[in-house]
Amino acid sequence: MQGGNRETDHASQKTKEEPPVSALFLLIYIFSVVGNTLVMIVIILDLLVLGFPLAFIVGGYCCIGYSLSKISTFRERVKAFKTCTGHLSLVAIYFLPIIFVYVFWPVIHPNARIINLSMTSVMPPMLNPIIYALQTQEIKESLRRLLKARVQAKLEVFRLKTL
């Protein structure tokens, strides 16, 4: 009888051991599902936070492009498009590195991702005044004069060396 009781005790121990193992698998499964859910939530939030503004900007420039196509002369189209180049360059400086990181995140080193995303938040505000200042006619004229003077100085040095 005691042998039979031992078997039942042994059998009951097995049944008592099984729930923790299946509970462990259940917990692992729950954490994997919750982890995947959190990843999905993060991806959806990223798409909303980054995708909506980018889609809005692209839609706006599609409307601008349509309006530019209605302008009769090519020279006026180019002049009107030049007003958009500063903003387009800043949009590209901001969004292209972010899109690059999110597309190629498995192959990019984590430190490179951190640096890239940090620079993305620093560079556009830093370059904004420079880009818009370069678009003013006064700055363009002074840069042209400076470059022209520099080229003329190099030509004179070249002429002196050949003599």
pLDDT digits (tens, 9 = 90+) for 65-119: 898 888 888 888 888 888 888 888 888 888 888 888 877 877 888 888 888 888 8
Whether 4 maps to a domain, the answer reads yes
Q: What is the mean pLDDT of the chain?
A: 76
Contacts of residue 71, Cβ cutoff 8 Å, sequence gap at least 6: 77, 80
pLDDT over 70, % of the chain: 74
User: Taking 60 as the threshold, does the pLDDT of residue 9 lie above it?
Assistant: no
In a domain, 66, yes or no: yes
Q: Could you write out the three-class secondary structure of the chain?
A: CHHHHHHHHHHHHHHHHHHHHHHHHHHHHHHHHHHHHHHHHHHHHHHHHHHHHHHHHHHHHHHHHHHHHCCCCHHHHHHHHHHHHHHHHHHHHHHHHHHHHHHCCCCCCHHHHHHHHHHHHHHHHHHHHHHHHHCCHHHHHHHHHHHHHHHHHHHHHHHHHHC
Would you place residue 5 in the very low, low, confident or very high pLDDT band (cuts 50, 70, 90)?
very low
Q: Are 57 and 91 in contact (CB under 8 A)?
A: yes
pLDDT at 26: 59
Does some domain include residue 17?
Answer: yes
> Which residue is associated with the tokens 């556009």?
124
Q: What is the pLDDT of residue 35?
A: 64
Whether 119 is in a domain gets the answer no
A 10 A CB-CB count for 74 gives: 8
Counted domains in the chain: 1
**Residue 8 domain-assigned?**
yes
What is this structure's pTM?
0.55
115 within some domain? no
Range of the domain at 8: 1-70
Banded model confidence at residue 19, pLDDT cuts 50, 70, 90: very low
Classify residue 144: in a domain, yes or no.
Answer: no
Please tell me the predicted confidence (pLDDT) of residue 150.
87
Residue 106 resides in a domain: no
